[in-house]
Amino acid sequence: MCGIAGAVNLRGKLKTEECLSGMLRSLKRRGPDASGIRMFDCALLFHTRLAVVDIENGTQPMEAEYGGERYTIVYNGELYNTEEVRRELAALGETFTGHSDTEVVLKAYIRWKKDCLSRFNGIFAFAVWEKKEHRLFFTRDRMGVKPFFYSFRNGTFVFGSEIKALLEYPGVEPVIDRNGIAELLFVGPGRTPGYGVFRDISELKPGQCGSFSSDGLHIETYWRLKDRVHTDSFEETAEHIRFLVTDAIRRQLVSDVPIGTFLSGGLDSSIISAVAANYFREQGERLDTFSVTYTDNQKYFRTSRFQPTTDEPYIRLMADFLGSKHHTFIVDNEQLAFALKRAVDARDLPGMADVDSSLLLFCEEIRRHVTVALSGECADEIFGGYPWYRDEKIRAAYGFPWAQSTDMRQKFLAPSLRTKIDGHAEISARYEATLAEVDKAEGLSPVESRLREMVHMNMYWFMQTLLDRKDRMSMYSGLEVRVPFCDHRIAEYMYSVPWEMKEYQGMEKGLLRYAVKGLLPEEIRTRKKSPYPKTHNPQYTAVVSSMLREILDDTDAPIFGLVDRDALLGLLGDEFTQPWYGQLMTGPQTMAYMIQLNYWLEKYRVRIEL
């Protein structure tokens, strides 16, 4: 994986000297191995590289000539069907100097233009400058795994893998308006699809591409979830799912550098680790697996509806079953709190509090051993693993199921903003717009109709929050994380599978569990879902409480321009247990989110302009 950035002004009025070092430096963590710049009369292209495949020949920006035109690409991602696309191009007469997917992507674009996207299976964001035509083409993968932020002001189009790169370009300023405040206090740590929170920053949505030329800025959707009539039997469906999941995992094990897997002892990471371990065994090698926990977590753990068991016994069982070289990372709770600010540095926004900072620390540790790791994100969204899919009352409730806290959030709004921003109206507008996008086949039952809405909401909202988190926290340490369940073929097929199949035998992800029979120990295959582990140690709560008190004691703290002081003070009470976002962000995490918000406002020198 890599970092990409660039700027185009067709009148040649680029702020070259002011942004050259800053934009490149801002993305160095994403690509610590190499960097490159291409300067044209109307365009700048930047690239920082994390070398994973074809280390010698994959240098970027990469150029090629065809038909009198010079094409230059900056590319962030991995193409998992590189060899199939390469063979198709070779049959048409194309030749290649190396085996990098970057060269395949570039030549596929030259040959087929935007139609190349329908041939790709992978995670990517890239931009191609056509020198003669003075045209920039840019795109993002179907599922939104790789980021692409952009800003268009005063005739200049600026883009980058992260917000920090755009803010290095003169004229792109850290300003939030009413919409940005609503994102932070009513949507955060999620983001409305396409929003960049800052006033002049947007994000290309999953499955979108665009161009900037003398014809203007044009953005279009090249892929979205489409419903159809599912005609396969249950056995055929399970067999096809086993093939798709296994194929996706095996494709993503290709690497010229060390590779491992996350292993929580849950269903999803165990499936990935099992397929990977078998693949490594075929090569005469041993898989590295990684898990995370917290100091004294076993001592303070309390069972709950959402987290019925600890992970440790299942991790040991699975690691022994795999015969993997297993690494357990224990996070110190004070270290976890102090890493909250670095997590903001990585995400460029307040995030999922210690759920972010723990992953950041975990990824730093993994990077000591491997450069690439596979992780189990996206299975719950696609296969229906969350409680809000299965609980009829939650499923039927109006609004986003992970964010039923608007009344509580409204109380945090600073008094000066309460007459200007209506949280319920903001969330309702976003919710209704999302439902209007859902594709449904004719004749669906009310339950199936609602579940299509749930899948769409989860994939384009909740899943994007988790993918943001995984990309930023991992790339901050130069670790590439791949997410096999995010293969678009799995999403396309599963979208129309009836709920009675998905929930086979009344279990969450029952179809997936059935499909992988024989691959895992039964204790793992039938284990009830348990979310990403969080700390239960009261030391963490004590540390973040102290950090919040420091903010409350500072009358000039920037957070008071957005948040009511009394509401913040109320977080210090023991009675605050309502979730801020999903089941993982309750009292301590809400405090941590506010700490992150204050730090973000201060560090990024955010201006509020209503």
Give the CA distances from residue 39 to residues 11, 44, 47, 101, in Å, rounded to whole numbers and listed in that order. 14, 5, 12, 23
With 90 as the cut, is the pLDDT of residue 536 above it?
Answer: no
Per-residue b/e over 189-215, b at no fewer than 16 CB within 10 Å?
Answer: bbbbbebbbbbbbbbbbbbbbbbbbee
Instruction: Look at 411 and 530; give whichever has higher pLDDT.
Output: 411
With 80 as the cut, is the pLDDT of residue 31 above it?
Answer: no
| Residue 597 near residue 559 (C-beta atoms within 8 A) | yes
Residues 416-442: tens digit of each pLDDT = 999 999 999 999 999 999 999 999 999
Give the pLDDT of residue 32. Answer: 75
pLDDT band at 578 (very low <50, low <70, confident <90, very high): confident
Q: For residue 168, give the nearest of 177, 159, 176 by alpha carbon.
A: 159
Residue whose structure tokens are 């100091």: 295
* Bridge partners, residue 158, by sequence: 7, 151
Give the pLDDT of residue 575. Answer: 61
Residues 43-95: tens digit of each pLDDT = 999 998 766 655 565 688 999 999 999 999 999 999 999 999 999 999 999 99
Give the pLDDT of residue 521. Answer: 96
Residues 91-118: tens digit of each pLDDT = 999 999 888 899 999 999 999 999 999 9
Q: Over range 365-386, report the average pLDDT.
A: 95
Give the pLDDT of residue 15. Answer: 80
Contacts of 95 (CB under 8 A, 6+ apart): none
With 90 as the cut, is the pLDDT of residue 298 above it?
Answer: no
| Residue 508 near residue 391 (C-beta atoms within 8 A) | no
Residues 305-358: tens digit of each pLDDT = 666 677 889 999 999 999 999 999 999 999 999 999 999 999 999 999 999 999
| Residue 29 near residue 475 (C-beta atoms within 8 A) | yes
Give the pLDDT of residue 552. Answer: 96
With 70 as the cut, is the pLDDT of residue 584 above it?
Answer: yes
With 80 as the cut, is the pLDDT of residue 283 above it?
Answer: yes
Contacts of 420 (CB under 8 A, 6+ apart): 178, 610
Quote the percentage of the chain above a pLDDT of 90: 82
Prediction pTM value: 0.95
Q: Is residue 2 annotated as a catalytic residue, yes or no? A: yes
Contacts of 104 (CB under 8 A, 6+ apart): 79, 82, 85, 86, 89, 96
Give the CA distances from residue 134 to residues 70, 216, 232, 504, in Å, rounded to whole numbers and listed in that order. 10, 11, 48, 54
Give the pLDDT of residue 71. Answer: 97
Give the pLDDT of residue 456. Answer: 97
Give the pLDDT of residue 59. Answer: 80
Q: For residue 212, give the nearest of 130, 148, 140 by alpha carbon.
A: 130
Question: Counting Cβ atoms within 10 Å, is residue 542 exposed (0-12), middle (13-18) or buried (19+)?
Answer: middle
Residues 475-532: tens digit of each pLDDT = 999 999 999 999 999 999 999 999 999 999 999 999 999 999 999 999 999 998 877 7
Residues 110-143: tens digit of each pLDDT = 999 999 999 999 999 999 999 999 999 999 999 9
Average pLDDT taken over every residue of the chain: 93
Give SS3 for 248.
helix
Give the pLDDT of residue 579. Answer: 84
Contacts of 438 (CB under 8 A, 6+ apart): 452, 453, 456
Give the pLDDT of residue 256. Answer: 82
H/E stretch holding 77 reads strand 69-79
Give the pLDDT of residue 522. Answer: 95
Rounded CA gap, 214 and 359, in Å? 43
| Residue 401 near residue 551 (C-beta atoms within 8 A) | no
What number of CA atoms fall less than 13 Å from residue 374's CA on the CB side?
A: 32
pLDDT band at 403 (very low <50, low <70, confident <90, very high): confident
* Bridge partners, residue 38, by sequence: 45
Lowest model confidence (mean pLDDT) among 28-37, 208-217, 254-263: 28-37
Residues 200-225: tens digit of each pLDDT = 999 999 999 999 999 999 999 999 99
Sequence letter at residue 322: L
Give SS3 for 522.
helix
